[in-house]
Chain A
Amino acid sequence: MTKTRTRTRKLSDLAKTVRSKNAGVDLITFDIIFRERSTYEHVKRARVITRESICALYRLPPERLADFVEFDPGNAIKFTIYRRRPSGSPGDPDIFGAQQYAPLLDIEVPDEQ
């Protein structure tokens, strides 16, 4: 039997919306929203977006991850992190927290066989 490599697709090709935004002054929240329920369920089953994978991607200690929710009514995976300092402190380069999602776009999601 020939061994075939599992094909993957990038999260940016699967999700309708990938965004980040302040949730109050101390938190940044991330939303990954899918158009289709089936795509959402597929990504959930693939287990590539978990508390552990997010901490690894952003090199965060687990205590900086404030919340992680699979939000079925919205076909969405959502997580929230503590900021290192409150928004708008001098030196904070992203007052709205709006550009922190980019590394999520390249997450590879394996196709199902």
Chain B
Amino acid sequence: MRSLRIICPNGHLGFAPLRVESFRLGVAAHPDCIAADSGSDDVGPVPLGTDTSTSPLAWQTHDLQAMLLASRELGVPMIIGSAGDTGANSRVDLYVRIIKELAEKHRLSRFRLGYFYSEVDREQIRRRMRRGETVPGLEGHATLDEAELDATERIVAMAGVHPFIDLLARSADVIIGGRSSDSCVFAAPAIHHGFPEAQAYYLGKVLECASFCAEPYGGKETVLGEITNDAVEVTAIHPAQRCTVASVSGHAMYERSNPYFEHVAGGTLDMSECRYEQRSERTTRVTGARFRRSSEFRVKLEGSGRIGERYVGLVGIRDPYTIAHVDEVIGWARDKVRERFGDTGYDLYYTVYGRDGIMGELEPMRDRPAHELCILVQGVAPTSEMAEEVCMIGTRQMFYARLPDVKGSAGSVAFALDEVLRASPAYRWTINHTLRCDDPLELFPTHMTSAGI
């Protein structure tokens, strides 16, 4: 095979629907594979913790249907990574079920459906820790200890190319992956067909977010990547978009702390010597990517731990004197919660929009609040009843705050809603660590089934 062409119709499939027009044009180009990543840790720890998707089922189904019908019509593989936002086992099962239902609904001829799981049992990690193995943290997370492990509700491991390649080698027509590195969804078919790892991982890196590597800015449009032995060419499919040297090189830095290196299970893609060349109006060619295999096979783990149930309240403030003393208003309400529940056993958060709500202590203008403020109150506690009361006291008592020189004595804040609202439970990222593996497949059991009639 001299070259392999892959289209990617969406980055984080399900989060917003793919755009149909450019996808159809991409399919008309007869690619050798249709692939997309469907997950992200950007959505925070709640979906992984509660074992849910943040993407609506209708949008997930919409995109899976478009990709499945095209892939079966062309007779080329369809590959999905990080199913259902988190890549947890229940999300893999959900996507497998959607694919089976779509195959039946559209009376597709029988095809091979491969899938793999990424969840890691907490007790397996505990056993390894007790045998003396350390589980080092990434990016400021301390080395994992048993207390933090105990606080964790669910763990997924980040797969590399290996389970995808295993399933391609077993002739899977459609692959639904658990949690996996975005780029590996695309690198796997390229490596499976014998292309060099350097080019393959670069192909994945540039395709992973679909049209984010094109300009003008516009997400969810299809792009096409073509790999050969010494280069990757990437083409914008939407008629109004182009893949330029600037847009493609710029994408290398997107969402990454360093624009030159991309770490995946098994090694590191080095883009520091990449050369970019405009081949035609909508196509840029990239050469010079390198891939360094790591001496030790380490897999990234993501874990989410439950903190408690959560309620939210909203208040507004217009009086300039009250705005200048908003911290005292908050302090008053905090005191009232303390009188009821004591100092600990709950959490209470105030986000002051109009002052430093979005940036907190990073806000250079926090000493110059706006003429009106909106304050988001979050109460977190072990039970729903307690969280509701913490939030209710923390919200309503702002109304009664006693400021010495306030003119308005009928209420210190404005309520748009005189209630507090139940929100998702509060979770936090407990695990952002790496685990050593002897076998690249040991955390990622693969399975094969079939779908269609």
CB within 8 Å of B: which residues of A?
A: 16-17, 21-27, 29, 31, 33, 35, 57-60, 66-67, 69, 71, 73-76, 78, 80, 82, 84-96, 99-100, 102-103
B359 and A100 contacting across the interface, CB-CB below 8 Å = yes
A93 and B432 contacting across the interface, CB-CB below 8 Å = no
5 smallest CB-CB distances across A and B, nearest first, come from A88-B44, A91-B349, A86-B429, A80-B257, A90-B426
- Of B41, B257, B364, which one neighbours A25 at CB under 8 angstroms? B41
A31 and B139 contacting across the interface, CB-CB below 8 Å = no
A87 and B357 contacting across the interface, CB-CB below 8 Å = no
A23 and B428 contacting across the interface, CB-CB below 8 Å = no
Stretch among B189-197, B245-253, B440-448 lining the A interface: B245-253
Shortest CB distance A17–B (Å):
7
Cβ contacts under 8 Å, A103 to chain B = 359, 362-365
Question: CA separation between A102 and B347, bound complex, in Å?
Answer: 29
A59 and B432 contacting across the interface, CB-CB below 8 Å = no
B320 at the interface (CB under 8 A from A): no
Shortest CB distance A80–B (Å):
4
Cβ contacts under 8 Å, B429 to chain A = 25-26, 86-89
Cβ contacts under 8 Å, A29 to chain B = 253, 255-257
Interface centre among A33, A74, A84, A96 (most CB of B within 10 A): A74
Cβ contacts under 8 Å, A99 to chain B = 358-359
What are 10 A-B contacts defined by CB distance under 8 Å?
A23-B257, A26-B141, A29-B255, A31-B253, A59-B361, A74-B249, A78-B259, A90-B310, A90-B428, A99-B359
A86 and B428 contacting across the interface, CB-CB below 8 Å = yes
- Of A31, A86, A93, which one neighbours B357 at CB under 8 angstroms? A93
- Of B250, B310, B362, which one neighbours A76 at CB under 8 angstroms? B250
Shortest CB distance B219–A (Å):
13
Number of interface residues of B (CB under 8 A): 47
Question: CA separation between A15 and B41, bound complex, in Å?
Answer: 29
Question: CA separation between A63 and B46, bound complex, in Å?
Answer: 29
A96 and B249 contacting across the interface, CB-CB below 8 Å = no
A sample of 7 more A-B contacts (CB under 8 A), given A24-B257, A59-B364, is A29-B256, A73-B252, A78-B253, A87-B42, A89-B429, A90-B347, A91-B349
Please provide the chain B residues from 136 to 195 with a CB less than 8 Å away from any CB of chain A in the complex. Answer: 138-141
Cβ contacts under 8 Å, B43 to chain A = 88, 95
- Of A78, A88, A91, A96, which one neighbours B45 at CB under 8 angstroms? A88
Question: CA separation between A66 and B139, bound complex, in Å?
Answer: 9
Question: CA separation between A76 and B260, bound complex, in Å?
Answer: 12
Cβ contacts under 8 Å, A90 to chain B = 307, 310, 347, 349, 378, 380, 426, 428
Cβ contacts under 8 Å, B364 to chain A = 57-59, 103
B111 at the interface (CB under 8 A from A): no
B276 at the interface (CB under 8 A from A): yes
Please provide the chain B residues from 253 to 288 with a CB less than 8 Å away from any CB of chain A in the complex. Answer: 253-260, 274, 276
Question: CA separation between A59 and B362, bound complex, in Å?
Answer: 6
B332 at the interface (CB under 8 A from A): no
Please provide the chain B residues from 363 to 390 with a CB less than 8 Å away from any CB of chain A in the complex. Answer: 363-365, 376, 378, 380
B411 at the interface (CB under 8 A from A): no
Question: CA separation between A92 and B349, bound complex, in Å?
Answer: 9
Shortest CB distance A88–B (Å):
2
B351 at the interface (CB under 8 A from A): yes
B427 at the interface (CB under 8 A from A): yes
A73 and B276 contacting across the interface, CB-CB below 8 Å = yes
B218 at the interface (CB under 8 A from A): no
